[in-house]
Every structure is written in structure tokens, then in C-alpha cells.
Amino acid sequence: MRFSALKVLKEGLTGNKGWTPHWRDPEPKPEYDIVIIGGGGHGLATAFYLAKEHGLTNVAVLEKGYLGGGNVGRNTTIVRANYFLPGNSEFYSHSLKLWEGMEDELNYNVMHSQRGLINLFHSDGQRDAFARRGNAMINQGDDAVLLDREGVRKHLPYLDFDNGRFPIYGGLYHPRGGTARHDAVAWGYARGASDRGVDLIQNCEVTGIDIEGGKVRGVQTSRGAIRAKKVGIVVAGRSGQVAAMAGMRLPIESHVLQAFVTEGLKPVIDHVISFGMGHFYISQSDKGGLVFGGDLDFYASYAARGNLPMVEHVMEAGMTLMPMIGRARVLRSWGGIMDMTADGSPIIDKTGVDGLYIDCGWCYGGFKAVPGSGFSFAHLIAQDRHHAPAAGFRLDRFRTGHGLLDEEGTGSQHNLH
Ligand SMILES: Cc1cc2nc3c(=O)[nH]c(=O)nc-3n(C[C@H](O)[C@H](O)[C@H](O)COP(=O)(O)OP(=O)(O)OC[C@H]3O[C@@H](n4cnc5c(N)ncnc54)[C@H](O)[C@@H]3O)c2cc1C
């Protein structure tokens, strides 16, 4: 079924009876060429690109809950390509280009809105760092504009520019940055993969990974054993646990990240704003809710809900930046489990087990990476060699120290990235 304006019109006039399920609901087969563990954004995009780019369709995605019930449906939806370090910048640049073609590619409205992202700075030193980052982005072929204080004021007149602690000096404007409807991204990739023959198996938890003679043979699941020639692990916050099924100890800690949404308000925030000094970021959804978040809860946890001190911290940061936000009522908050690496950058690599691959460590920035990660991981699984833009995301950098990608410059403490 293709979506089109004509189809919407026809269905609207005929009682909306012609819509069909977006993906098939098959029983698992006993054997596949490739099994992907995890039906989040990255797993579904990987399956889609395996089918579309490499013609590999004897593929199953095994999801322990429902598709899109993990972080892909829990994030604050920010999409950007404003990374500084070689290794990261070309990857996110490629990912943003895939975002820009995604709706056509999937024939699905993911509400990708390039409304512009502004990273604020509050000191001369920070301005220098952002100027350098902006130049790196431009050199990479992406867009960046350094705004002075008045330049920021034109876009965001409602901010508190003269805050005693963090007066606003200016901002780095990334016009192609923005937001997208997060769960639609999962649904779009699911539909595209299913249409191409990939089996999406929900309520199917992987409980073990079968390995014989150093080679992967399949997986044990809550719905029985499934054999596979290749297996990809893409389970975000559960990466450490699932990798342990193959005897691996990953350089990952799982932490909770919370997000918040207010009641619907008239349009007020046209951009995505990032306030690094308070660690606070905000945008307004098309429904009118202010969607915002901040730092991780600072303890390792597998609970998909956070704690009150971080709620207070995030609210304080919001009030510091834009005191008017104190008039809005928070409707909901929730948490997701983040797979934090020690250098803040991800892993897309083979493992020590033949036929077993891993894609993880997206920290709290993996939504924007969904298409790029899916594309690069599919390339690695299909061709057994790295896709160039993701070639730096090697697992062994944590063992050798060579090629670490410490984008934040905060050292090896997972929860600081
Ligand atoms: C509050 C919050 C805000 C965020 N904001 C942003 C943002 O603004 N921009 C941005 O770029 N990123 C953001 N992120 C990060 C981003 O959402 C994640 O990095 C990304 O979604 C992780 O990849 P995923 O979509 O594949 O994960 P998930 O959707 O979590 O997918 C992993 C899947 O694996 C499944 N799974 C786990 N174990 C098993 C098993 N044993 N068997 C079978 N299946 C299993 C899970 O059920 C889950 O569905 C945010 C995250 C959170 C929580």
C-alpha cells in the first residue's frame, strides 16, 4: 500500500476502511540468513537497508516487546549533524543526508522538520570552541552560522540574555538541524523492511546466543530456538546484557535519561535550543507541547524511569534559560536506558565470534543516527567490511586506546558524555 494525497482523500471519503496493517505479523521461521536482535530504530533501519541496499531478505528482527517501544519512541527527537571530530563528523553528516531523503525513501511521513538548532554559548572561551566546531562542520560540507548575541536575540527573543551566572554571548546556528516524529521513524523503517520480505517478530526475547567452534549458529528466544548464519546485536540500553550472552564484556554502562513534555501551547519556540551550561535542550512539538530534557541520572540502572533530583535540575535549567517556562504545566515525564561508552562515541563492529556483529554505544544521541547506523551496520553485516563513514567506530579502541573519539573532551567517565 502506497501513501499519497490521493489515497488519503479517497479513504477520507469512503470511511477509512481501506487502510491495511503497516507490517506483516509472521511466525518465526526455524532458520534465517541473518537475525537482528532489537526492533528499535537502529535494528529496523539495519533490516531495511539489508533488504534495500544488499538484496538480503531472509532476515528476521527479533524484538522482546513491541516495535518502537524502546528509546526510539522515548527520545526528544533532535536530529543534527554538528559533530566536531573526524570519525564522528562524516558519519553524522551522512546520516543527516539520509534523513533528508527518508520520507521519499520510505514513502512515510516522519514529520522531519529542519527548523534549525541553536547551541548557545556563554563565555569567550566557549565562543572560540563553537567557532572551531562551526568551521569543522562547514569543512565537512554541513552548515553552521556563528551568531553574536543580537543574532541569537533575533531568533530567540524570549531567552534571559542577562542571566547573572550564564549571560548569553551568542550561539552556533545549524539551520539543517531539527526534529522528527520519533515513533514514525520506527514504523516507517518497519513497514519498508516488512514490504521487502523481512520478518519482524515481536514479543520475542533473545535469551541466549548459540556459538559453536567460534562461529555463531543462532539464538535462543522466548519463542524457541532460531538458527542464523549471521546475528547482529542492536539493543541499545541492553547491549551489555545481550553481549554477555556471547561471553563479551562491553565498555558500556547503562544510565537513565529522562524527558519531559508540557501541555500544548500556542507556537512559541520555532527552533531547537541547546543550553550547554545548564545541560538543557528544548523544542516545541507540532501538537504544541514543549519537549525538553537534560542530563543523565548519574547512576547506572536498567529502570526506564528516572529520579527526582534530575527532574529538579532540568526544571532549574529551563527556568534559568527562559523564565517564562515556569508558567507551563508539565504533563508527562519518562526515561530511557542509554548505552554509554567511555568516549561518548558508538560502536559498529564485528566481534570476536565469527558471524556476530554489534551496533551500540549511542549514548544519548542515537536518534539522529538511526538511518546512518542502519546503513553502515547493514553494510558491515552484508559485506564483512566497514562502511567508510562508520569506520572509526571500532570496538578495539577501548582496549588499545587508539582511535578514541572523545567528542565531549570529558575523559573516560561514561556518565559525563
Ligand atoms: C529521554 C531520551 C531522550 C533522547 N533524546 C535524543 C535526541 O533528542 N536526539 C538523539 O539523537 N537521540 C536521543 N536519544 C537517544 C536515542 O533515542 C537512542 O540512542 C536510540 O534510540 C537507541 O537506538 P534504538 O532506537 O535502536 O534503541 P531502542 O529503541 O531502545 O531499541 C532497542 C530494542 O532492543 C530490544 N531488546 C533489548 N533486549 C532484547 C532482547 N534480549 N531480545 C530482543 N529484543 C531486545 C528493546 O526492547 C528495544 O526495543 C534520547 C534517548 C532518551 C531515552
pLDDT of res. 298: 86
Which domain CATH number covers 219? 3.50.50.60
99 belongs to a structural domain = no
Tell me the pLDDT tens digit for each residue of 123-141. 999 999 999 999 999 999 9
Tell me the pLDDT tens digit for each residue of 320-332. 999 999 999 999 9
**132 and 245 part of one domain:** no
Q: DSSP class of residue 354?
A: B
175-179: average pLDDT: 98
pTM for the full model?
0.97
Mean pLDDT of the chain: 96
363 belongs to a structural domain = yes
pLDDT at 403 exceeding the cut of 90: yes
CA–centroid distance, residue 234 to ligand 1 (Å): 9
**169 and 212 part of one domain:** no
pLDDT at 1 exceeding the cut of 90: no
291 belongs to a structural domain = yes
Tell me the pLDDT tens digit for each residue of 83-133. 999 999 999 999 999 999 999 999 999 999 999 999 999 999 999 999 999
**221 and 362 part of one domain:** yes
**334 and 262 part of one domain:** yes
**328 and 194 part of one domain:** no
Does the CB atom of residue 42 touch ligand 1 within 6 A?
Answer: yes
Q: Which of 290, 364, 368, 370 to mutate to test the pocket of ligand 1 (most atoms within 8 A of CB)?
A: 364
Distance CA 402, CA 342 (A): 13
Cα angle 86, 97, 382; round to 5:
80
pLDDT of res. 383: 98
270 belongs to a structural domain = yes
CA–centroid distance, residue 385 to ligand 1 (Å): 25
CA–centroid distance, residue 343 to ligand 1 (Å): 19
Measured from the Cα of 67, ligand 1's closest atom is: 49
Name every residue whose Cβ is closer than 8 Å to that of residue 211 and which is 6 or more positions away in sequence.
217, 246, 247, 353, 356
Q: Which of 367, 376, 407 to mutate to test the pocket of ligand 1 (most atoms within 8 A of CB)?
A: 367
Range of the domain at 162: 112-176+253-341
pLDDT at 254 exceeding the cut of 90: yes
pLDDT at 237 exceeding the cut of 90: yes
Does the CB atom of residue 37 touch ligand 1 within 6 A?
Answer: yes
pLDDT of res. 80: 97
Does the CB atom of residue 234 touch ligand 1 within 6 A?
Answer: yes
139-168: average pLDDT: 96
**332 and 355 part of one domain:** no
Does the CB atom of residue 49 touch ligand 1 within 6 A?
Answer: no
CA–centroid distance, residue 31 to ligand 1 (Å): 26
**167 and 268 part of one domain:** yes
Chain centroid to Cα 381, Å, comes to 20
Measured from the Cα of 245, ligand 1's closest atom is: 41
410 belongs to a structural domain = no
**167 and 189 part of one domain:** no
Measured from the Cα of 43, ligand 1's closest atom is: 26
CA–centroid distance, residue 125 to ligand 1 (Å): 34
414 belongs to a structural domain = no
Indicate the residue among 324, 341, 358 that finishes a domain. Answer: 341
pLDDT at 306 exceeding the cut of 90: no
Q: Which of 75, 187, 199, 341 to mutate to test the pocket of ligand 1 (most atoms within 8 A of CB)?
A: 75
Name every residue whose Cβ is closer than 8 Å to that of residue 55 and which is 6 or more positions away in sequence.
none
**Structural domains in the chain (count):** 2
CA–centroid distance, residue 70 to ligand 1 (Å): 5
3-state helix, strand, coil in the chain (%, to 5): 35, 25, 40
Does the CB atom of residue 295 touch ligand 1 within 6 A?
Answer: no
406 belongs to a structural domain = no
CA–centroid distance, residue 150 to ligand 1 (Å): 38
Q: Which of 36, 209, 222, 235 to mutate to test the pocket of ligand 1 (most atoms within 8 A of CB)?
A: 235
Protein residue closest via CA to atom 9 of ligand 1: 78
**163 and 190 part of one domain:** no
**310 and 273 part of one domain:** yes
pLDDT at 285 exceeding the cut of 90: yes
Does the CB atom of residue 94 touch ligand 1 within 6 A?
Answer: no
Name every residue whose Cβ is closer than 8 Å to that of residue 308 and which is 6 or more positions away in sequence.
none
310 belongs to a structural domain = yes
Tell me the pLDDT tens digit for each residue of 332-362. 999 999 999 999 999 999 999 999 999 999 9
**287 and 309 part of one domain:** yes
Distance CA 198, CA 185 (A): 17
Which domain CATH number covers 119? 3.30.9.10
Name every residue whose Cβ is closer than 8 Å to that of residue 158 and which is 6 or more positions away in sequence.
268, 322, 324
**223 and 261 part of one domain:** no
Q: Which of 142, 60, 32, 99 is nearest to 373 (CA)?
A: 99
Does the CB atom of residue 365 touch ligand 1 within 6 A?
Answer: yes
If 0-12 CB within 10 Å is exposed, 13-18 middle and 19+ buried, where does residue 25 land?
exposed
